[in-house]
Amino acid sequence: MATPASNGDSFDATLANSSTYLMSDLDRQLRVFKTLSSIIDFAYTFDSDGRFLYANQALLDLLGLKLDQLVGKTFLELPYPHDLAVKLHAQVQQVFDTQQKVIDETTYTSPSGKDGCYEYIFSPVFDDHGRVELVVGSTREVSHRKLNEKVHGHLAAIIESSDDAIVSKDLNGIVTSWNPAAERIFGYIAAEMVGASILRIIPPELHFEEDRILSKIRAGERIEHYETRRIRKSGETVEVSLTVSPIRDSAGKVIGTSKIARNISGRKLLERMLVQSEKIATMGRMAATVSHEVNNPLEAVINLIYLARCNSTDNPAVLEYLETAEQEIERVSHLTRQTLGYYRDTGAHSNVALPDLVRDVLRIYQTKIDARQIILQTDFGTARPVYASKGELTQVLSNLIANAVDAMPDGGRLYLRVAELNDAQIEIVVQDEGSGIAPENLNKIFEPFFTTKGNLGTGIGLWVTKQLVEKHGGQIAVASNPPPLKGTTMRVSLPLVADSTDPASAPSSANTRTR
């Protein structure tokens, strides 16, 4: 066998001397081999027994052999793991038998310890009679590609399993990819969004943001933790934090954007609740102070009235005025404690007939009702009592009637009804023909500090009302028509006393307290 060759020309000599070489069509085969020799990766040929006829230098280097150590040998006689050698040998035979090429890949560790992943093709070369004359093998190392595929696979898995929406867009805002988290957060599946404009999930009033983001991205800038709102397919709003980065092509040109959106609705809700509870706590402190400051002079007035009464025994008219004044002041003091003192109410519960209570409260507002030419209509269908704190229920009715009167500056009808809902519940209805409540405000009116009356309202009236109603085991509901229909109906339902003569049978939520 000839000296090992390291290039195509010396290979010709090796080839010519090879005992296994077929001399019949030398020119054509030499051309084939020379071509093979110039291939960067691994090139080789086999005869019909599966013996190597030729291998280029790259393969010889990999195997650590010289050409004459390789030529004439099958895979089984060369430094290959036995299983792999058997498989490769069989595949060469298969090409001769089937005249079809074989494409496959394998991992291989060379005798020098080099690990690699290889893709190979065994192709038939036909003679003039259409028979397979030899098999040409070509192998490419694909370790790099495999590594890339692995890395891409990992990245794809990360994107697929991310909790954050990961979305890519071109520079016109057309979505090019949409991961499962984007489906979960925005409600649209990938098939609906890929190819569509991202504006679909941006509220119309925020469309300008997208232009701003895109112009920053075109300039190569990145946007981090930008908090904004998006619209879900269902129409709900979702609060998100966005990080937007440019996507560049291999030449560094910006060709699109990648956007990571984190759903922060939960966090925002928590933040709002914290602000709310902070507000309530602040109000609590303020209320305690005000309550203290107001109650001290009230106590003094009560004492002064008492002294005045003791010194006016001879004048029955003055005595009566003072007695009334004392009752009124006592009530003011009581109300202050309830509203501003955080219901540290000491008022005892008793059986309260609601029609009487409504009449009492209406008396407070009579002047205002007359001045506004409000037409009063009452419908008291029952006199069955509720077991409650009279002061607190006065507070409830007072707030509801005050709101109704406030809502009708130019008059209208104020309708008050007390009726049994069923055996266990009684309902008070306060209905007006006033301004009505805008739909977007309906779920805010029971929140503390929500008012549309500017400096004229504190926004605690309904909040206090709701708490007092619930404290009595009742419920409050609102129905309102925004303009032009107008009008608001507030319904308060309270538990009825099972047996009005026996306070002990009162509902357990209404605790008896002593003053």
Ligand X SMILES: Nc1ncnc2c1ncn2[C@@H]1O[C@H](COP(=O)(O)OP(=O)(O)OP(=O)(O)O)[C@@H](O)[C@H]1O
Q: Footprint of ligand X on residues 448-467 (CB under 6 A)? A: 450-453, 457-463
Q: Does 437 help bind ligand X (rule: CB under 6 A)?
A: yes
Q: Which residues pair with 231 in a beta bridge?
A: 237
Report, in Å, the least distance between residue 353 CB and ligand X: 24
> What mask, x for binding Mg ion by CB under 5 A, covers residues 400 to 439?
---x------------------------------------
| 432 touches ligand X (CB under 6 A) | yes
Question: Applying CB under 5 A, does 467 fall inside the site for Mg ion?
Answer: no
The Cβ of residue 174 has, within 10 Å, a number of other Cβ atoms equal to: 16
Helices (H) and strands (E) in the chain, counts: 14, 17
What beta strand segments (E) does 337-471 contain? 349-352, 374-380, 386-389, 412-420, 425-432
Applying CB under 6 A, does 141 fall inside the site for ligand X?
no
- Spatial separation of the C-alpha atoms in residues 469 and 491, rounded to whole Å: 11
Residue whose CB is less far from Mg ion, 305 or 445: 445
- Residue closer to Mg ion by CB (options 256, 461) is 461
Q: Is the dihedral of CA 172, 177, 182, 187 positive or negative?
A: positive
The entry of Mg ion, ligand X, none near residue 385 (CB within 5 to 8 angstroms by kind) is none
Count of residues near ligand X by CB under 6 A: 22
> Nearer to ligand X by C-beta: 6 or 475?
475
- Are the beta carbons of 176 and 257 closer than 8 angstroms? no
Cα angle 291-297-299, degrees, rounded to a multiple of 5: 90
Restricting to residues 485-504, name those near ligand X by CB under 6 A: 488
Nearest-approach distance from CB 330 to ligand X, in angstroms: 22
Cα 447 to chain centroid distance, Å, stands at: 24
d(CA 105, CA 145): 13
62 vs 407, which CB is nearer to ligand X? 407
Q: Residue from 137, 246, 434, 473 that binds ligand X (CB under 6 A)?
A: 434
Structure tokens at 266: 């939960």
CB-closest chain residue to ligand X: 461
Q: Where in 11-70 is the site for Mg ion (CB under 5 A)?
A: none
The site map against ligand X for 384-423 (x = CB under 6 A) is ---------------x---xx--x----------------
Give the contacts of 131 (CB within 8 A, at least 6 positions apart).
Answer: none
The secondary structure of 142-211 as a DSSP string is -HHHHHHHHHHHHHHHHHHH-SSEEEEEETTSBEEEE-HHHHHHH---HHHHTTSBGGGGS-GGGHHHHH
Closest CB to ligand X among residues 352, 460: 460
Q: Give the angle 19-23-25 at the CA atoms, nearest 5°.
A: 145
In angstroms, give the least distance from the CB of 478 to Mg ion. 13
Q: 73 with 90: CB under 8 angstroms? A: no
Q: Which one of Mg ion, ligand X, none is in contact with 222 (Cβ closer than 5 to 8 A by kind)?
A: none
241 binds, among ligand X, Mg ion, none (CB under 5 to 8 A by kind): none
Under the rule (CB under 6 A), what is the footprint of ligand X? 399, 403-404, 407, 432, 434-437, 445, 450-453, 457-463, 488
